[in-house]
Amino acid sequence: MQSDWEEPIVKYRPLGKTGLQVSALGLGCMRLPEHDPDLAAQVVDAAIAAGITYFETTRGYINGKCQHLVAGGLKGRSRGLIVSGKAGVDEGTTADGYRREIDLQMEILGVDYLEFFQVGWFSLGKLEALTKKGGALEALDNARAEGTIGHIGFTGHDKPEGFTKLIETGIFDSLTIPYNMLDRSYAPTIRRAGELGVGVIVMCPVAGGMLASPAPQLQELIPGGATTTSAAALQFVLANPDVSCAASGMNTLEMVNENVATVHSFQGMTEVDRARAERILDEFATLGERFCTDCGYCMDCPNGVDIPRNFRIYNLGRVYGLMDWAKQEYSSMEAGSRAEACVECGECEPKCPNKLPITAQLAEVREALA
């Protein structure tokens, strides 16, 4: 399938006070097709052709293949685009080690410049590790001073109040956080970022794919009605005036075409429309606070339980009233991957970036669907 456009049609927004204009739609590269590098390159190339300028990458995604797959589509292009690398920090991180990581990621991507480098999997509790003498911030500052990178951002799943304190330090030009129809917990942080001029990149705008399922009641929240639930999800995120870019994971040309068309056609929402949507979505607040984003960090389960799939099925059933479908889908899973195979060993819970009580929720799934 070829692109449906002859010239860039994605809309652009200010990226905080950086002076950069960023495409309202970005490409989250963690979902590129692992075993089809040609298709991955086509997806990246098609995104650039459509006017998408933001590309979220890191070395560890897709079993270490993410940046290799992105490189095939970038073809050395990074200037004029906002390509982001990312690496975490801990107490043992040094400036020299972090700089080597920056250089390695650029080498893999095949570029000589990154507009952004993000401190990944970050939280307020890691601020001291970042800013210590001889730490990662020195490497980032030096790389920026040399013109190797342009700006510094961070991303993670800390509590909203923690992220608000981080953007108030003045260190960061952007933050990347989850925000969608079912999880609006970062809304106060996004508002504060707007006040401070910190760019906001939204990850999980379609809630890890959950909002790709039919839900007419959500589509109706968009004035005039959205064509699909995923379109409604993207448009809801972009209705927030303090959001710079919604980074969506796309792995086919069809997805690029559909998302570009969704963003291009969206005319925004009035304050009245937004307030109405927020009131209706308050009914989903409880789910949002306990939401599984399907990131997969909890895997692999030593007992073979497919934790993300169990939660995905159950949440779809609960939220949209599709319990009959959910029970059928659950019963089609291999017995060893269903929630009843959980022995409550607890190995998964420390891995969850959202700090979900996974074992208790698996018991809830088992009771409802088994």
Give the angle 334-338-340 at the CA atoms, nearest 5°: 130
Region of poorest pLDDT, from 12-16, 227-231, 324-328, 337-341: 324-328
| Residue 361: partners with Cβ closer than 8 Å, 6 or more residues away | 290, 292, 311
Give per-residue pLDDT as tens, 211-228: 877 778 888 899 988 999
What is residue 132's predicted lDDT score, i.e. its pLDDT? 98
What average pLDDT score do residues 297-309 get? 94
Ordered DSSP codes for 337-363: GSGGG-----TTGGG-TT---HHHHHH
Q: Which letter does DSSP use for residue 124 in this model?
A: G
Kindly state whether residue 124 falls inside one of the protein's structural domains.
yes
pLDDT at 295: 87
Instruction: Examine residue 153 and state whether it is found in any structural domain, yes or no.
Output: yes
Distance CA 249, CA 69 (A): 14
Task: State the pLDDT confidence band at 1, using cuts at 50, 70 and 90.
Answer: very low
Who wins on pLDDT, 370 or 89?
89
Which pLDDT does position 367 carry in this prediction? 95
Instruction: Please report the pLDDT score of residue 8 as a whole number.
Output: 58
Q: Are residues 160 and 223 in the same domain?
A: yes
Residue 2 lies in a domain: no
Q: Are strands 82-87 and 54-56 parallel, antiparallel or unpaired?
A: parallel
Q: Are residues 355 and 270 in the same domain?
A: no
Q: Are residues 61 and 26 part of one domain?
A: yes
Looking at residue 323, its pLDDT comes to 80
- Mean pLDDT of the 102-111 span: 97
pLDDT digits (tens, 9 = 90+) for 6-44: 555 789 999 999 999 999 999 999 999 999 999 999 999
3-state DSSP helix/strand/coil % of the chain, to nearest 5: 50, 15, 40
> Is the per-residue pLDDT at 229 higher than 90?
no
Quote the CA–CA distance of 201 and 246 in Å, as a whole number. 6
pLDDT at site 291: 63
Q: How many CA atoms lie within 13 A of 113 on its CB side?
A: 13
My answer on whether 75 and 172 are in the same domain is yes
DSSP class of 303: T
Kindly state whether residues 216 and 183 are assigned to the same domain.
Answer: yes
pLDDT of residue 322: 65
Q: What is the CATH number of the domain that holds 140?
A: 3.20.20.100
Over residues 102-128, mean pLDDT: 98
- The string of pLDDT tens digits covering residues 124-176 is 999 999 999 999 999 999 999 999 999 999 999 999 999 999 999 999 999 99
What is the pLDDT of the chain when averaged over all its residues? 92
Say yes or no: 245 and 344 in one domain.
no
How far is residue 275's CA from residue 258's CA, in Å, rounded to a whole number? 27
Distance between CA atoms of 229 and 17, rounded to whole angstroms? 32
- Report whether 323 contacts 368 (CB < 8 A): yes
CA distance 21 to 275: 27
Let me know if residue 5 belongs to a domain: no
- Chain centre distance of CA 47: 17
65-101 core/surface letters (b: 16 or more CB in 10 A; e: else): bbbbbbbbbbeebbeebbbbbbbbbeeebebeebbeb
In a domain, 253, yes or no: yes
- What is the mean pLDDT of the segment spanning 317-321? 71
70 and 163 both lie in a single domain: yes
**Same domain flag for 269 and 321:** no
Nearest to 237 by CA among 246, 226, 248: 246
Model confidence pLDDT, tens digit, residues 185-212: 999 999 999 999 999 999 999 987 778 7
- Would residue 259 count as lying in a domain? yes
For residue 319, name the pLDDT band (cuts at 50, 70, 90): confident
Q: According to the model, what pLDDT value does residue 6 have?
A: 56
Cβ count near 360 (within 10 Å): 10
Domain, as residue range, for 280: 12-284
Domain count, the chain: 2
Looking at the DSSP bridge assignments, the partners of residue 84 are 56, 116
Residue finishing a domain among 239, 257, 284: 284
pLDDT attached to residue 301 = 96
In a domain, 7, yes or no: no
The model's pLDDT over 55-66, given as tens digits with 9 standing for 90+, comes to: 999 999 999 999
Statement to judge: residues 166 and 267 lie in one domain: yes
Domain boundary among 284, 313, 337: 284
Q: Tokens representing 214? A: 């039919």
Half-sphere exposure of 201 (CA within 13 A, CB side): 30
Residues 229 and 331 in one domain: no
How far is 172 from 158, CA to CA, in rounded Å? 16
Identify the domain boundary among 234, 264, 284. Answer: 284
pLDDT at 244 over 80: yes
Helices then strands, each counted (H, E), the chain: 16, 10
Is the pLDDT at 320 greater than 90? The verdict is no
What per-residue confidence (pLDDT) applies to 318?
80
The answer to whether residue 3 is domain-embedded is: no
Flag whether pLDDT at 2 surpasses 90: no
Residues 104 and 245 in one domain: yes
Domain identity same for 313 and 166 = no
Please indicate whether residue 217 or residue 105 has the higher confidence score (pLDDT).
105
pLDDT at 331 over 90: yes
Closest to 247 measured CA to CA, from 344, 88, 118: 118
Strand bridging mode 25-28 / 21-23: unpaired
